[in-house]
Amino acid sequence: MPLVANSLLPTFTRLREEGDTVLDPARARQQDIREMHIGLLNMMPDAALEATERQFLRIVSESNQIAQFYIHLFTLPQLQRGEKAAAHIRQYYETFDTIKAEGLDALIITGANVTQPNLADEAFWEPLIEVIDWGYNNVTSILCSCLATHAVVQFRHQQKRKKLAEKCWGVFQHEVIDRFHPLVSDINTRFNVPHSRYNEITQQQFEEAGLRVLVASPDAGVHLAVSEDLFRIVYFQGHPEYDINSLLKEYKREVLLFIDDKRDDYPPFPHDYFSRQVQAILLEHKSRLLKAKARKAPLPTFPEELIRSRLHNTWHDTGEAMINNWIGRVYQTTNSDRKKRFMLGIDPDDPLGIRYTRSE
């Protein structure tokens, strides 16, 4: 169902250009369709800030529910930002105080770059915990992505993530191991999910914390788990929201780090992502690049455009179905929770209520 462009966020324009349905608020108000308000706490670094907006807004908008989605973006001021990203946030993001005052139906928390071995030593730790505490007590469900999953499991269950021997990076096959939970209803029992991380919460740690593991991979570990009440918190370690070229761009960044002598070794290929043809193209590029670098000659251009059309997305449909199940459960729960709607300032007898005032 459609997103509602409740701000001038450039991502809305980008999604329209790519064929997604994005309604302006005036048109949305004329439709007798219930609205849902979903917060997106975007903690990603500047280079991935807008791409992360686009990825999560797209996968939410493509979930097949009868609702209009209002996405409320916010971040944590303790995260270091460059001038451009800071200006983007000032212009298009809301404050956490506004989020708390107006309420949400659901909340998504993204990953973030970290600098400390212990997450509790990060500058954003206390503000993030404040958001998690508020969300747990005031929002129907919180969906945590990657680093957010590690932070919540550490905070709520005292299970600290473990450093991997090598980066878990690429596209991995997963299997549904608990087929009776509504979040995995009517999805493939085997499917792919991208991962990109140096740490993990193991299946044993999830289970020792009393959490329910739904989807896991023998190579990449747990992808999806849920809280002990089965729905209040949803934990992702993988990235079903990734674009088809997200791992390509990450690989390119690693190559550039090698060129700038910020990485000792030439990056390996992400697992099961590049075809043999693409690998051959990249190996040829690597050979030319190393020769040019040794001679201090001009470096060849990374063949990104040549590769893009040769990539395959093997994860999006199942990820979309899973988000669809999550949104559907939020929809059903908030629709029947009259007390919560009243507390959030919404007429419990009116599915549209006074929420329309947010976009006016």
Tell me the catalytic residues: 146, 239, 241
Query: Do the bridges between strand 212-217 and strand 162-176 make them parallel or antiparallel, or are there none, so unpaired?
Result: antiparallel
Cα→Cα distances 163→83, 125, 202, Å = 32, 19, 10
Q: Which residue has the tokens 């992360």?
A: 52
**Longest distance between any two alpha carbons in the chain, whole Å:** 74
φ, ψ for residue 165, nearest 5 deg: -65, -35
* Amino acid at residue number 308: R
- Residue 147 contacts residue 199 (beta carbons within 8 Å): no
Which run of H or E residues covers position 253?
A: helix 246-259
Cα→Cα distances 331→70, 71, 84, Å = 13, 15, 36
φ, ψ for residue 271, nearest 5 deg: -60, 125
Q: 355: how many CB neighbours lie within 10 A of its CB?
A: 23
